[in-house]
Amino acid sequence: MLSFIRTTWQAAQASEKLAMVLTSLYILSPIDFIPELAFSVFGIADDLAALLMLISTVRRIRTRLGSGTVIPPNSNETPLKK
């Protein structure tokens, strides 16, 4: 599991890292844009949208990894191979 996370993080571009961090913080945050208590089913929709965005970002990175060699942003690291 840690290897999966580390490999995904190393292969991610800066914008993808930002998206993963912000969506993870939003999902874990106790503050919601649409609270569940007030709007029940619709209150869960924003959390679900954030989760789907996180999954989509990770899948895009993993697909790129599966299509060949990806060189991590730090040039002192070795390329990640399939």
Reported as a single tens digit per residue, the pLDDT across 18-56 is: 999 999 998 888 777 777 777 777 778 888 899 999 999
**pLDDT at residue 80 in the model:** 55
Which is nearest to 57 in space by CA: 68, 65, 45?
Answer: 65
Query: In the numeric block, which tokens belong to residue 40?
Result: 């029940």
**pLDDT at residue 57 in the model:** 94
Whether residue 8 has pLDDT greater than 70: yes
Annotated domain spans of the chain? 2-66
Q: Are 50 and 23 in contact (CB under 8 A)?
A: yes
The overall pTM is greater than 0.75: no
Mean pLDDT of the chain: 82
**pLDDT at residue 38 in the model:** 77
Task: Let me know the angle formed at the C-alpha of 52 by 49 and 56, rounded to the nearest 5 degrees.
Answer: 140
